Amino acid sequence: MTSKIDSIIEDFELLDNWDDRYRYLIELGRALPPFPEERRTEQSKVQGCASQVWLVSDASGDPEGPRLTFRGDSDAHIVRGLVAILLALYSDRPARDIMAADPGAVFTRIGLKDHLTPQRSNGLRSMVERIRADARAALAQAS
């Protein structure tokens, strides 16, 4: 069975030019489930992003430790697509796996790492750090 992130990587590899890849990135963002208005709070807002980005996590018990499910949104189309990729990579995974995952390898493989503005790259790092902070908090709470 192919995971969501594997499907996204395969789709990116089929696209030859960057206009198509950006369109696909925007489509990924549009496919995100609606983000509840009541969760658009200062606490859920990711600091360090030029665009507005909201991320929330819910932890559940699992034999492997806490498992986190993430939801997110952004007010910018391309950034919303980046959120969709991060959710495909991290959501519904054990916190330990989240801490070990290497998003840089994924973004390099699909070629986005070299095609993001410095501002978007900084925002992406802020989103990853937020996701990892939630995983660390879930692991600490489970201990």
Q: Tell me the pLDDT of the chain averaged across its residues.
A: 93
Q: Where are the alpha helices (DSSP H) in 39-90?
A: 77-90
Average pLDDT over residues 33-60: 95
Q: What is the pLDDT of residue 11?
A: 95
Write down the pLDDT at residue 137: 95
Backbone angles phi, psi at 42, to 5 degrees: -60, -35
| Predicted pLDDT of residue 69 | 97
| CATH code of residue 115 | 3.90.1010.10
Mind listing the pLDDT tens digit for each residue in 115-135?
888 899 999 999 999 999 999
Q: What does 14-42 look like in DSSP terms, one character per residue? A: H--SHHHHHHHHHHHHHTSPPPPGGG-ST
Our count of domains for the chain comes to 1
The reported pLDDT for the residue numbered 16 is: 87
- Do residues 120 and 82 make contact, with C-beta atoms less than 8 angstroms apart? yes
Number of helices (H) and strands (E) in the chain: give both, helices first. Answer: 6, 3
**β-strand partners of 60:** 67
Evaluate if residue 1 carries a pLDDT over 60.
no
The helix, strand and coil proportions of the chain, stated in percent and rounded to the nearest 5, come to 55, 15, 30
82 lies in which domain range?
4-142
The arithmetic mean of pLDDT across residues 43-61, rounded, is 94
Q: How confident is the model at residue 2 (pLDDT cuts 50, 70, 90)?
A: low
Rounded to whole angstroms, the Cα distance separating 77 from 111 reads 18
Q: Is the pLDDT score of 63 beyond 80?
A: no
Phi, psi of 20 (to 5 degrees): -65, -40
Give the active site residue among 49, 59, 76, 138.
49
Clarify whether 18 is annotated catalytic. Answer: no
Between 33 and 111, the more confident residue is: 33
Question: Stretch 68-74: mean pLDDT, rounded?
Answer: 97
User: What is the pLDDT at residue 113?
Assistant: 81
Give residue 60's pLDDT band: very low, low, confident or very high (50, 70, 90). very high
- Closest by Cα among 97, 26, 31, 27 to 62: 97
* Neighbour-count burial of 24, counting CB atoms closer than 10 A to its CB (0-12 exposed, 13-18 middle, 19+ buried): middle
